Amino acid sequence: MPDHYSPGRRTGTEGVGMTTFVLVHGAWHGAWCWDRLVPELEQRGHSAVTLDLPSHGSDTAPAEGVTLTDYVDRVSEVLEMQTEPVVLVGHSMGGMVITGAAERVPERIRALVYLTAFLPGDGDSLLALEEGNPNSAVPPALLRAEDGRTATIDPSRIRELFFHDCSDADAAAAVAQLTAQALAPLAEPLQLTEERFGSIPRVYVECTDDRAICIEMQRQMITARGCDQIVSMDTSHSPFLSAPAELADHLSAV
C-alpha cells in the first residue's frame, strides 16, 4: 500500500472533465482505506486527495487530546490548498468532519458526498445521532481504554461490523491498520447554518448491507436532513474495499 502523509496526498492528473475528490476516512481508519478506490477514480480521469485525520493512520498526534475541531481544521487546510472547488467525500464518522468543513469553507466545496456516513443537523454530535440508531451495533462492541478517552473495537466483531463482504486478505490488511479512536470528537456537536453548510449540494451513498450504520438509520438521516441525490450500493460498511469500481462510477456521476 502507498504511503500517505498530511495534510493531503494528491494523485491523478489535470484533464478536461476532471473532478478533484478529497476523501475523508471514518473512525479507526486512515487514508490507507482509499487505496483501492483512488486508482479507479484516476482511470476515470479524476484526481483524488487523501489524508490522515489527526491521530489516525500515520499521523502521530496523541489520540487522547484530539477534538472534532482538529479534524475539521485538517480537512479545511487541505481544501484551502486545492486550485478549485472539490467534491468532498466522507465515510462514516467522516460525515461529521466534512459537514464541519462545509460550514467552515463552503466556497471550497462543489458537492458533499456522504458514504454510508453520519449526516448531522445543527447541534448534532455523532453520539446524539447514534442514539437514534434502531440497530445500534458499534457501541456494544467498543473496548474503552482505562482513562475513558479512547476506544478500540472488539477484535471478534470487527470483520462482521466493517468488512464482512471483503476478501480475507483485504479484511486482514484493514484490521491490521485500524487505530484507537478518540472519543471526544464523537461527543462534540456541530453548529451549522443554511447559508453555509446548507448551500452545498448533498449526495448520499447508502449501503444496504451495512452492519455498522444500518440502512434504517442511513435513511432516517437522509429523510431528516434532505439530500439532492441518493445512490444505493448493496455492500457492507466498506465499499471502497469490496466494490471500488462501482463506487468510483457513482462518484464520477456527482
pTM over 0.85, yes/no:
yes
Q: What is the pLDDT of residue 216?
A: 98
Rounded to an integer, the average pLDDT of 197-214 is 98
pLDDT at position 88 over 50: yes
pLDDT at position 7 over 70: no
Instruction: Give the H/E segment covering residue 127.
Output: helix 126-130
Considering the domain 9-252 in this protein, what is its CATH number? 3.40.50.1820
Q: What is the pLDDT of residue 117?
A: 98
pLDDT at position 142 over 50: yes
**What ranges do the domains of the chain cover?**
9-252
Residue 237 main-chain phi, psi, to 5 deg: -70, -10
Pairing of the two strands 150-153 and 142-144: antiparallel
Position 100 confidence tier, pLDDT thresholds 50, 70, 90: very high
The answer to whether residues 91 and 115 touch, using CB atoms and an 8 Å cutoff, is yes
Query: How high is the mean pLDDT of the chain?
Result: 94
pLDDT tens-digit profile of 109-135? 999 999 999 999 999 999 999 999 999
pLDDT tens-digit profile of 151-187? 999 999 999 999 999 999 999 999 999 999 999 999 9
Give the Å distances, CA to CA, from 243 to 13, 23, 96, 237. Answer: 23, 16, 23, 11
Contacts of 36 (CB under 8 A, 6+ apart): 170, 240, 241, 244
Grid cell 459537514 in the structure block, residue: 99
Going through 3-67 in order, the beta strands assigned E by DSSP cover 9-11, 20-24, 47-50
Degrees, nearest 5: CA angle 212-187-30 = 55
